[in-house]
Structure 1
Amino acid sequence: MKISLGPLLYYWPKQKVEDFYQQAITSEADIIYLGETVCSKRRELKSRDWIELAKALEGQGKEIILSSMALLEAPSEVKVLRQLCENGVVSLEANDVGAIQLLSESKLPFICGPAINCYNASVIKLFVNKGMQRWVMPVELSRDWLAKTLTDCEDLGIRSQFEVEVFAHGFMPLAYSARCFTARSENKGKDDCELCCIKYPNGRITTTQEGQQVFILNGIQTQSGYCYNLLNDLPSMQGMVDIARISPTGSESFATVQQFRDALNGQVNYLPLDSKECNGFWHQIAGLEKH
């Protein structure tokens, strides 16, 4: 099983982003995803910067993938999407069906990202026929759902035509909205947000009246309040999952990558989840629960 570093979901200064990926290239990750997937106003790195970064990292022993936006709202964003599709160097993770259409028209292979509602074998077959080479399972699906879906893919004769990637560690993207929740939390409008999300390098925590950390606000994205951690569930992925994804939160993510690598090599025993970790979705129970 391989390990991937998913696209950065937060808004960091350009230098911090570049430093992070210089560390990433020497990490135990096999695959590195690059690009802005949340908000087009986050322009510390523009599309051409992400493409140049992909070119710089390509050929250094890692598979490099560019990731597209999950919610397109303006013609300018479609223009950026076309630039990413036509980068000519690396494959694209499509997080919007529009990206799949553009890539299919150009006969380019792609990865189906977790933001796309791809829940069954029939949709997977449709995307395989359009050029999908890897399916990143939506974060809320379970191991049992995955097993049934892959059995259905066997019946359709397509199981060998794509890889399976699972979001295995990080704060899960649960929903997207045309509104910016981070701006709203500071009483700002989306058009006058002043890029305030750069003040929250891991999003803005939202708690219930009882003090439970239930969600994280990350621009237009709502994330899980607890960190999803499938480290102990890696054995249950064998034979089904090709890639386990670590979603970056900072330089500490490299220690997580190493921990997953050690676990895959049989060097880590069961580690109980802490009070702010969860693995519920994988076990088909409430997402914030622990199994």
Structure 2
Amino acid sequence: MQISLGPLLYFWSKDRIFDFYRQVAESNIPVVYLGEAVCTRRRELKFKDYLELATMLKEAGKEVYLSTLALLETPSEYTELKRQIETCGFKIEANDMAAVYVAKENNIPFVCGPSINNYNSSSLCKMQSWGMERFVMPVELSKDWLNKVIDSYEGKLPFGIEVFGYGHSPLAYSARCFTARHKGIAKDNCETVCIEYPKGLLAQTQEDEPLLRLNGIQTQAAACTDLSREIEVMRQMGVTHFRVSPTGKNTIEIAEALIAGQPIPTPANPCNGYWHGEAGFENN
């Protein structure tokens, strides 16, 4: 089983992003996803910048995937998505069915991201026939669900399985920008204020308990998922990739430790419930 580095879901400055991926290039992380997967208004990096980073990572021996937006809202966004997929020269992580369609039409292998609702063997078979080489299990599904899918293929899956194993789980997307709303400004004039929150904006309950992280149009779990203790179980099940989602500089150290089979620091009150078939915020 390989450790993969998911796409950066937060809005960082261009210099910080380049510095982060230069460190990734020097690491032992074998599989890297990169690209803007959350909001088209985040323009610190142009598409050519992502291609530059992808080329650098490929030359460093990484298997690179370009991640697409999880929520397309306008025809122009689809046009840009189509152009990027058709000209990028890399495999993609499709986070929306529009990206699946474009990849299929152009015979480009793809990974289905966690925002695509693959909830049964039939949908996975269809995706595989269209060129899917791996799928990232939706974060709200469980180990038992995955076992049933694997059993339905009698243990001979024609595609890989990736599990979101570490980071703040992406739970939902909205046409509204919650970060801009918090600031009292309209989304159309948001000034990309989400750059002020490099780990998202923490939302709490009335009892001051952490509940969610608002990341522009994306809603995440407040607590960090940490399924590192389940790695051996996943390996025995047939999971091929364990995803680490970037949260900061220590992400690279965490991924390196997992690759080396070393324990990692346990985050406070990890939310691992979904994997165990329970409420997501449960600490297991």
Unaligned stretches of 5+ in structure 1?
none
Cα distance in structure 2, aligned partners of 1:228 and 1:55: 30
The 5 Å alignment of 1:114-193 reads: 114-154=114-154, 159-193=156-190
Cα distance in structure 2, aligned partners of 1:80 and 1:24: 27
Deviation at 1:85, TM superposition (A): 1.0
Deviation at 1:272, TM superposition (A): 8.3
Aligned length: 283
Partner of 1:6: 6
Cα distance in structure 2, aligned partners of 1:20 and 1:9: 13
Partner of 2:66: 66
AA paired with 2:70? A
Tell me, yes or no, if the aligned pair for 1:182 and 1:218 is still in contact at 8 Å: yes
- Residue 47 to residue 76, structure 1, CA distance change in 2 (3 Å): farther
1:253 aligns with 2:251: yes
AA paired with 2:281? L
Q: Deviations over 1:28-84 (max 9, x none)?
A: 311010100000000001222212221232131110110000000012211221132
The 5 Å alignment of 1:171-250 reads: 171-239=168-236, 240-250=238-248
AA paired with 1:223? Q
Cα distance in structure 2, aligned partners of 1:13 and 1:100: 29
Cα distance in structure 2, aligned partners of 1:273 and 1:248: 16
Residue 238 of structure 1 aligns to a residue whose secondary structure is helix
For structure 1, which segment, 278-287 or 197-206, has the greater mean C-alpha deviation from structure 2 after superposition?
A: 278-287
Structure 1 outlier segments of 4+, above 4 Å: 271-274
Tell me, yes or no, if the aligned pair for 1:47 and 1:83 is still in contact at 8 Å: no
Unaligned stretches of 5+ in structure 2?
none
How well do the aligned residues superpose, as a CA RMSD in angstroms? 1.5
Tell me, yes or no, if the aligned pair for 1:121 and 1:149 is still in contact at 8 Å: yes
Tell me, yes or no, if the aligned pair for 2:2 and 2:240 is still in contact at 8 Å: yes
AA paired with 1:189? A
Percent sequence identity over aligned pairs? 47
Cα distance in structure 1, aligned partners of 2:79 and 2:56: 23
Partner of 2:45: 45
Residue 72 of structure 1 aligns to a residue whose secondary structure is coil
- Residue 190 to residue 88, structure 1, CA distance change in 2 (3 Å): closer
